[in-house]
Structure 1
């Protein structure tokens, strides 16, 4: 007869091991259960701001989103002059880039204060495409690309330039995850003519 030593987590030693199951693997512990490790959920949103030209409008936006659960908000039609990253009084990061014409169009981001230290890079490719790189772990990073597409009133060349800008943003830096989001100005309905 072979006598095996008692193994922590087994049914013969009460109070040791994970306490789950009937001792199955004899000593194997469920570290996820023990340390309560669960992947963090990341809440992304996109918003057509119509205008954030003044600081008052930015404060107004922050008041509205304070009632929601969010981590990163991609912004379209920011309509602010220039390009800048600002830490707001709330601790959130606000990045914006103006449009082609002064005080028109533009893209940006608001990053929740809990993630500001994880932001590796925020950059724009054009007035319609910007991206943000967020460190998730030491090994993995996430790229969020915000797009503000031209309306159907613009020529097809503008749309082709937008697709090239999105491609540039995707290939600008290597990240494990890529998300493309924004206001694509899509039209729904039946086809007309030769569409």
Structure 2
């Protein structure tokens, strides 16, 4: 089982929460028929909702405590100004977005919505924010430059690019005449390793030229693995070297007897493992001591 996140844009007036038989609708909008954002929460998931925060008709935040995760998730729904908007409008939007993230979001973060820009192919130095599966090789648009800069500064990965899909299925916007497709809706996160899939849903009975986009989050928080130590970079003092020497003398005392049936390579491996084991024991002791002394009194 996985959590599914959908991009949702609404165009209704005012701010409200409406309960329906199967879902909960939160929406905020100020300009009739033009702007607005919101969230649809299934009834069985509304118990996990902590709060809705309406920033503007272009930005809304949902904070949730998901089962299987220790810390809260923040989902920021946005509707960016178009490419034709003036620079003041665009800059104000991203300034408001950055302030909203700093003030109202938690450690686990998703930013999603209609970004109204094309990011094109991944460039050098963008591996942290873009995967290898771009929708098109079109030139990155003006808004696309701002989108990727925002992702870099916020340390967010664009999930659209992380999973291999049929290129024909990746477009998120279709022109009214059906001849032009673009990818301008994105889902970003600072926890990309927690997600298992991204999908553009082609068929959805709703009056819009945007396609619904969906990502899937693992039902339980992945366990963090302890980073492997590089034994070649461990610095030992004279006392520690003496400890290793003494331990190896004991360990290899019966080396000939224990390895007389082994081939030369196996004897080498036996000795190498004995040395590495002793070094690791010393290194782990150093780590435990450092963690102990760093604890607050």
Query: What TM-score does the superposition give when structure 2 sets the normalisation length?
Result: 0.39
Partner residue of 1:120 out of 46, 50, 60: 50
For residue 136 of structure 1, report the CA deviation from its aligned partner. 1.8
Partner residue of 1:84 out of 5, 10, 16: 16
CA distance in 2, matches of 1:168, 1:125: 10
Q: For the structure 1 residues 184 and 191, does the alpha-carbon distance in structure 2 shift closer, same or farther, using more than 3 Å as the test?
A: closer
* CA deviation string 1:56-114 (max 9, x = no partner): xxxxxxxxxxxxxxxxxxx22x1111110111122x11011114x22321100101112
Is residue 94 from structure 1 mapped to residue 10 from structure 2 by the alignment?
Answer: no
Aligned length in residues: 123
CA distance in 1, matches of 2:111, 2:139: 26
Q: For the structure 1 residues 159 and 139, does the alpha-carbon distance in structure 2 shift closer, same or farther, using more than 3 Å as the test?
A: same
Query: Match of 2:101, SS?
Result: helix
Match of 2:130 in 1: none
CA distance in 2, matches of 1:41, 1:156: 39
CA distance in 1, matches of 2:102, 2:3: 23
Q: For the structure 1 residues 170 and 147, does the alpha-carbon distance in structure 2 shift closer, same or farther, using more than 3 Å as the test?
A: same
Query: Match of 1:85, SS?
Result: strand
CA distance in 2, matches of 1:86, 1:182: 21
Q: Structure 1 regions of 5+ residues with no counterpart?
A: 1-39, 47-74
CA distance in 2, matches of 1:160, 1:105: 17
* CA deviation string 1:23-50 (max 9, x = no partner): xxxxxxxxxxxxxxxxx5211121xxxx
Query: Match of 1:172, SS?
Result: helix
For residue 190 of structure 1, report the CA deviation from its aligned partner. 2.9
Is residue 41 from structure 1 mapped to residue 6 from structure 2 by the alignment?
Answer: no
Q: Structure 2 regions of 5+ residues with no counterpart?
A: 121-137, 146-297
Contact 1:125–1:168, Cα closer than 8 Å, also in 2: no
Contact 1:85–1:95, Cα closer than 8 Å, also in 2: yes
CA distance in 2, matches of 1:184, 1:124: 18
1:51-90 matches, cutoff 5 A: 75-76=8-9, 78-90=10-22
CA distance in 2, matches of 1:169, 1:182: 15
For residue 191 of structure 1, report the CA deviation from its aligned partner. 6.4
Match of 2:281 in 1: none
Is residue 190 from structure 1 mapped to residue 139 from structure 2 by the alignment?
Answer: yes
For residue 151 of structure 1, report the CA deviation from its aligned partner. 0.6
Would you tell me which structure has more helix in proportion to its own residues? 2
Is residue 103 from structure 1 mapped to residue 53 from structure 2 by the alignment?
Answer: no
Query: What TM-score does the superposition give when structure 1 sets the normalisation length?
Result: 0.57
Contact 2:29–2:56, Cα closer than 8 Å, also in 1: no
CA distance in 2, matches of 1:41, 1:79: 29
Is residue 157 from structure 1 mapped to residue 88 from structure 2 by the alignment?
Answer: yes
CA distance in 2, matches of 1:131, 1:45: 14
Partner residue of 1:147 out of 78, 81, 88: 78
